[in-house]
Amino acid sequence: MTTKLVSQMTLEEKAALCVGINAWQTYAVERLDIPSITVSDGPHGVRRAQTIADGSLPATCFPTASALASSWDVELIRQLGQALADECIAIGVDVLLGPGNNMKRSPLCGRNFEYFSEDPYLGGEMAAAFIDGVQSKGVGTSLKHFAANNQETERMTVNAQIDERALREIYLAGFERAVKKSQPWTVMCAYNRLNGPYGSENHRLLVDILKEEWGFEGFVVSDWGAVHNRVNALIGGLDLEMPGPQEMRVQRVAEAVQRSELDEAVLDAAVERILHIVFKAKQTKKGGTQIDIDGHHALARQIAGETMVLLKNDNLLPLRNVKKLAVIGKAAKEPYFQGGGSSHINPTKVDMPLEELQKLANGAEISYADGYTMQDEFDQALIDEAVKIAAQAEVALLYIALPPFKESEGYDRKDIDLTNQEVALIKAVTGVQPRSVVILNNGSAVAMNEWIDGAGAVLEAWMMGQAGGGAIADVLFGRVNPSGRLAETFPLKLSDTPAYLNFPGENGEVRYGEGLFIGYRYYDAKNVPILFPFGYGLSYTTFEYSKLQLSKKAIKATDGLTVTVEVKNTGSVAGKTTVQVYVHDCKAELVRPEKELKGFAKVALAPGESKTISITLDERAFAYYHPGYQEWVVESGEFEILVGQSSADIGLKESVYVEAPRNRVAPLQRYSTLKEWLNHPRGQVVLESALAQFMKSIEQTFGEAVLASDAIEWAKDLPLDVVFAFWGQNLNMTSEELVENLLAQL
């Protein structure tokens, strides 16, 4: 249908369809009944604004991505997606601009609150569930920002230099998983350059990889203002430019076709992709419904409760029979529950944490002090006031939010510390009140080693959404047993972090020098001590994992593997735990991280209850990307399946032999080394006679002094022509001619 429609459109209409008609809508062609569709931010709420600058319509503000990923609960994220779709339908939005799935390369990235994880498997699963949920109701999504938008510094111009393995296995893998599992209606290109070309003109990224290799069927939309040349962007695979209007660019596109500078088929392909989504969107009527404000507020509270991570608890939580509580921190009255920038939602209502606490505190006497302001200023009087009420209370609750001047879309953090005022406040309060709970609102890891020893408990509440105040009270009083697990490592200090020497880059370039080794992959490899590991989180109960079993002790990679483990709640209250399955490749031709997350499952258990969990690993769970073959490869050999309650708490381990679908060997070429020739099944045969000559000449030259086998060991990393140049004197050809001759025999 769309192909026919494209043939009926004029060149000007086709060019116009590929640019927004305004900040949030696509171009309509009334004469052909092609409607306009409306897109809006996301990701954790619907930000329906008339222009880019003005405020948006009220909508539920849910926890942001870094919180959502800490739930490790794909069903819950799918449910969130459905709720967001309901709000899009009520407000009249056809495509929600999210989820953001860029990897957390450094905790300094100001936009980490909008991204899921440092691990592409977890990020990909979260993104796929979000997309499934939203799209199950006939509303589209926009998986963003494709790709390697891992910092805010110079985000519109910086060139991310990433080696092929790190690109494929880390920075694209989460997008690949989400595209293949859930087919987002749209993908949003990133602002930055990636190995040269801008995200909006990166043909290899948008066409070769996204559309052709992964089979993406929707359209690519630019980030707002990411297009630098509309014709180049169309050739690069960028279907829809936003925002509009851009009349001159529309005209340039038409002229380029007329001057045969742009193949009209390229324009038609973009138009076809856009029409495909426009008509898909229109299958679901928008408008005419109301947001279920109370129902979604309750859902936001439930989700927030699932995302909070109990990091420390010296038997202080849940609070029991506390009669005098000191509540300290501006965030207890003015909750800091979302981040700055394009994802900022106009909430339908907001829980005030202090009020929600009072509702559950069973009449406890509650005192309050600000403790700090959200400005970058130091005020000792505020600390003194807080210390006074803390000393008189049984328990002190410190609501500590990282203020917007520290982290936001548009700029990166300079450090991973709380403000000086907050650090001084925590130290002073815990100095007089050891029964102190620190409750954090932040978008990404913060350093704690200046104060954590003095705190009785630490609860990571993230940017918890509009109902986070209630969720914190639920967790503090035990109505909710915290089950969040970290989706990013919390380092001890900034200089320990993987990207420390290469963030945010300089002179317009940022080198991803750490390669594959981001997050726990790095801390494992370097054995760097950390504060809290990936996958970590405490509960009010305890769990025991046992009876790890593998479906087979030896498999063909293509058959996959089923991992079963028994999980028991060995404590006295109901709770949830997340079984994490990591894979270790015992031996590989290329370097691999110590272990990588390849499966997980969250399970709820009553006290004393046991359940057997099954997790299936597919072929990709054993594979890595080989730049030589330019594809994902599994090498036959021994793998270890590691199961634990965090990346640093691996309680169970079993081995499995994996047979590769085919054993690849590097193709021999002009400068292949002696070792590569000897490792090549055909190469070693073809080389045999020439090698015999080489061995003989070694013996003639060195006699017994040098064993030919030692000579081979010494020469193995030399290109074959160099070996013969040294020792092929009595050849009747040059060494390079000999190599060409041998290659021809292959």
List of residues contacting ligand GLC (CB under 6 A): 41, 97, 144, 223-224, 342
- Judged by CB, which is closer to ligand GLC: 186, or 646? 186
Cβ atoms 177, 121 nearer than 8 A = yes
DSSP secondary structure letter of residue 745: H
Q: Which two tokens stand for residue 199?
A: 């995200």
- Judged by CB, which is closer to ligand GLC: 356, or 409? 409
- Judged by CB, which is closer to ligand GLC: 41, or 422? 41
To ligand GLC, the closest distance from the beta carbon of 444 in angstroms equals: 17
CB atoms within 10 A of CB 250: 22
Q: Does the annotation count 223 as an active-site position?
A: yes
Residues 367, 387: Cα–Cα separation, whole Å: 11
- Judged by CB, which is closer to ligand GLC: 169, or 409? 409
Q: Is 49 helix (H, G, I), strand (E, B) or coil?
A: strand
Q: Given strand 193-194, what is the order of strands in its sheet?
A: 193-194, 159-161, 509-511
Residues 130, 43: Cα–Cα separation, whole Å: 10
To ligand GLC, the closest distance from the beta carbon of 449 in angstroms equals: 33
Q: Is 510 helix (H, G, I), strand (E, B) or coil?
A: strand
What is the full DSSP assignment across 519-571? THHHHHHHT--EEE-TT--B-SS-EEEEEEEES-SEEEGGG-EEEEEEEEE-S
To ligand GLC, the closest distance from the beta carbon of 247 in angstroms equals: 21
Cβ atoms 340, 408 nearer than 8 A = yes
Residues 213, 148: Cα–Cα separation, whole Å: 18
What is the full DSSP assignment across 359-418? HHTTT-EEEEE----SSS---HHHHHHHHHHHHHSSEEEEEEE--TTTSBTTB--S-S--
- Judged by CB, which is closer to ligand GLC: 410, or 628? 410
Q: Given strand 95-97, what is the order of strands in its sheet?
A: 39-41, 95-97, 140-146, 186-189, 219-221
Residues 406, 411: Cα–Cα separation, whole Å: 9
To ligand GLC, the closest distance from the beta carbon of 64 in angstroms equals: 12
To ligand GLC, the closest distance from the beta carbon of 233 in angstroms equals: 16
- Judged by CB, which is closer to ligand GLC: 73, or 114? 114
- Judged by CB, which is closer to ligand GLC: 342, or 541? 342
Identified catalytic residue from 41, 132, 223, 412? 223
Q: Label the pairing between strands 395-401 and 436-441.
A: parallel
What are the two backbone dihedrals, phi and then psi, of residue 686, each rounded to the nearest 5 degrees? Answer: -60, -30
To ligand GLC, the closest distance from the beta carbon of 36 in angstroms equals: 17
Query: Among candidates 562, 521, 588, 524, which has minimal Cα distance to 656?
Result: 562
The one-letter code for the residue type at 263 is: D
- Judged by CB, which is closer to ligand GLC: 149, or 481? 149
- Judged by CB, which is closer to ligand GLC: 343, or 645? 343
The one-letter code for the residue type at 425 is: L
Cβ atoms 192, 159 nearer than 8 A = yes
To ligand GLC, the closest distance from the beta carbon of 42 in angstroms equals: 6
CB atoms within 10 A of CB 287: 9
Cβ atoms 268, 234 nearer than 8 A = no
**Which helix (H) or strand (E) segment is 311 a member of?**
strand 309-313
Residue 101: alpha-carbon gap to chain centroid: 4
Cis check: omega of the bond before 498, within 30 degrees of 0: no
- Judged by CB, which is closer to ligand GLC: 220, or 467? 220
How far CA 689 is from CA of 348, 658, 692, 723, 735, in Å, comes to 81, 35, 5, 14, 15
Query: Among candidates 121, 122, 102, 124, which has minimal Cα distance to 113?
Result: 102
Burial (Cβ within 10 Å: 0-12, 13-18, ≥19) of residue 743: middle
To ligand GLC, the closest distance from the beta carbon of 71 in angstroms equals: 22
Q: Which two tokens stand for residue 341?
A: 């920038």
Please compute, for residue 344, the number of CA atoms within 13 A of its CA located in the half-sphere on the CB side: 14
To ligand GLC, the closest distance from the beta carbon of 403 in angstroms equals: 21
To ligand GLC, the closest distance from the beta carbon of 281 in angstroms equals: 17
- Judged by CB, which is closer to ligand GLC: 40, or 159? 40
CB atoms within 10 A of CB 229: 14
How far CA 427 is from CA of 383, 452, 525, in Å, comes to 10, 9, 33
To ligand GLC, the closest distance from the beta carbon of 190 in angstroms equals: 8
To ligand GLC, the closest distance from the beta carbon of 223 in angstroms equals: 5
- Judged by CB, which is closer to ligand GLC: 115, or 477? 115
Residues 257, 251: Cα–Cα separation, whole Å: 10
Q: Label the pairing between strands 490-491 and 530-532.
A: antiparallel
- Judged by CB, which is closer to ligand GLC: 274, or 467? 274
Please compute, for residue 127, the number of CA atoms within 13 A of its CA located in the half-sphere on the CB side: 39
To ligand GLC, the closest distance from the beta carbon of 187 in angstroms equals: 12
The residue with tokens 């076709």 is 257
For the annotated catalytic residues, the residue numbers are 223
